[in-house]
Structure 1
Amino acid sequence: MSVDELREEALRLNPAARARLARELLASLDALSEAEIEKLWIDEAIRRDEELDSGAARAYPADEVLARARARRK
């Protein structure tokens, strides 16, 4: 089963079951070693860089992002 298929199945669960699954998945990350966590961050950085290169994502200046975030908090 692919990650996409698993996600689709998980989203069919009722809210309580999804919440329990989410808690268990997040708790499982606490058991990762520093090396595993570093690898995950590197993989994520590579994925994001590829999205930027392909045009699937767009970069925004930090001050613009922070200004929008502050405006949403009000």
Structure 2
Amino acid sequence: MKVIIMLSIDELMREALSLSNTQRAFLAEKLVESLEFDIDEETQKAWMSEAKKRRDEIYNGNVLPISGEEALAEVRKILEQ
């Protein structure tokens, strides 16, 4: 018998955020790949290249990721100046 467990978006997000940085980066890459884009191939290649570059920066420890809350706080601070 196959049991299917459906998580709410909040539960799924909590589970995803509990993953390691590497696992979250992989998941994010796969989610982005799953989206259908109505953009030209060159633009899509450029975005994918940038995403992979950023992923590699995190993997290599050159960049430390911050939470969405921290990022938004930084943006708000910049906009207030």
TM-score, structure 1 as length reference? 0.51
Deviations 1:46-74 (A, max 9, x none): 11100000001110001111112212222
5+ unaligned residues in a row in structure 1: which ranges?
A: 1-32
Asked if 1:46 corresponds to 2:52, the answer is: yes
Quote the sequence identity (%).
29
Asked if 1:60 corresponds to 2:27, the answer is: no
Alignment of 1:1-74 (within 5 A): 34-74=40-80
| Distance in 2 separating the partners of 1:35 and 1:52 | 26
Q: How many residues align?
A: 42
Larger relative contact order (CA 8 Å, sep ≥ 6): 2
Task: From the CA coordinates, give the structure whose radius of gyration is larger.
Answer: 1
**Alpha-carbon RMSD:** 1.4
TM-score, structure 2 as length reference? 0.47
Q: What is aligned with 2:19? A: none
| Distance in 1 separating the partners of 2:74 and 2:51 | 23
